[in-house]
């Protein structure tokens, strides 16, 4: 086997050094580019809305809400005081095609079940596929909906037409209005609107966990709706 000349060896070494340098530089550029992109993304989705908000200047009208309060009981309406509201938790019913009243009645039926954790379920509001909003629990009481966040959040269950969990247009519209009104009432911002998933990792609301872009769009819609109702200070 013919040996390589010294000149050839030097040429190969130079080529290897050059190739390694190109790889290092390319990796560095990719890393820098990624950091720049992420910085823009984080800035675009930064949710420090409440920092400069004077909530006295905003007046979102209360949506049409049907009061159908649950009977006080250990499982679905314990009557425990909700002293502070620091967030809104969005859910989906996981019962495709059912309406708001049917889900409300399911919560009511828990009063007849055994006093165990599996039967402790409810929500402050349920929004139907037709956009109807039913309130099950007063805003000064906790609901059994969001695990560790039951004690400081308002919960909203949303009906959905199929197994994808995607809300109908009417459900979506009512959710935006209700959430914006609650933001004004309790001085909350976009960062305070969360999913059940963000509390426990449960795939709820399913469609808006699987599609992060749809979730961010929903939160943006809520906040835009809130900002529409700035009162004329003149």
Give the dihedral of Cα atoms 114, 201, 97, 69; nearest 10 deg.
Answer: 50
Q: How many angstroms separate the CA atoms of 60 and 162, rounded?
A: 31
Rounded Cα gap, residues 229 and 214, in angstroms: 24
In this predicted structure, the answer to whether residue 50 has a pLDDT above a threshold of 60 is no
Number of alpha helices (DSSP H) and beta strands (DSSP E) in the chain: 6, 6
Tell how far CA 124 is from the center of its chain: 16
CA angle in degrees (0–180, nearest 5) for 45-139-75: 105
How many residues in the chain?
Answer: 234
> Using one digit for the tens of pLDDT, what is the confidence trace for 181-228?
999 999 999 999 999 999 999 999 999 999 999 999 999 999 999 999
Three-class secondary structure of residue 153 per DSSP: strand
pTM over 0.75: yes
- Residue 9 — very low, low, confident or very high, per pLDDT cuts 50/70/90? low
What DSSP state is assigned to residue 166? P
Tens-digit pLDDT profile for residues 103-134: 999 999 999 999 999 999 999 999 999 999 99
Backbone phi and psi for residue 226, each to the nearest 5 degrees, phi listed first: -60, -45
Tokens of 131: 């956009």
Q: What is the mean pLDDT of residues 155-184?
A: 98
Two tokens, residue 33: 């580019």
Q: What is the β-pairing status of strands 133-135 and 125-127?
A: antiparallel
State the pLDDT at residue 6. 66
pLDDT of residue 156: 98
pLDDT over 50 at 74, yes or no = yes
In the block, residue with structure tokens 């808006």: 208
3-state secondary structure of 96: coil
Residue 77 pairs in a beta bridge with 73
């Amino acid at each position: 086997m013919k040996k390589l000349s010294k000149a050839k060896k030097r040429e190969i070494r130079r080529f290897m050094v050059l190739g390694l340098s190109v790889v290092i530089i390319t990796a560095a550029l990719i890393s820098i580019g990624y950091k720049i992109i992420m910085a823009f993304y984080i800035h675009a989705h930064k949710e420090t809305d409440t920092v400069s908000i004077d909530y006295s200047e905003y007046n979102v009208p209360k949506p049409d809400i049907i009061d159908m309060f649950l009977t006080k009981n250990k499982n679905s309406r314990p009557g425990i005081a909700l002293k502070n509201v620091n967030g809104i938790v969005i859910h989906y019913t996981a019962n495709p095609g059912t309406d708001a009243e049917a889900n409300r009645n399911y919560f009511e039926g828990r009063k007849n079940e055994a006093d165990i954790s599996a039967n402790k379920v409810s929500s402050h509001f349920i929004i139907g596929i037709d956009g109807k909003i039913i309130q099950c629990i007063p805003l000064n009481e906790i609901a059994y909906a969001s695990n560790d966040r039951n004690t400081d959040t308002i919960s909203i269950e949303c009906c959905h037409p199929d197994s994808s969990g995607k809300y109908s247009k009417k459900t979506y519209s009512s959710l935006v209005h209700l959430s914006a009104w609650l933001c004004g009432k309790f001085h909350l911002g976009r960062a305070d609107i969360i999913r059940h998933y963000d509390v426990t990792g449960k795939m709820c609301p399913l469609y808006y966990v699987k599609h992060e872009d749809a979730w961010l769009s929903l939160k943006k819609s809520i906040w835009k709706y809130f900002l529409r109702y700035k009162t004329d200070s003149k």
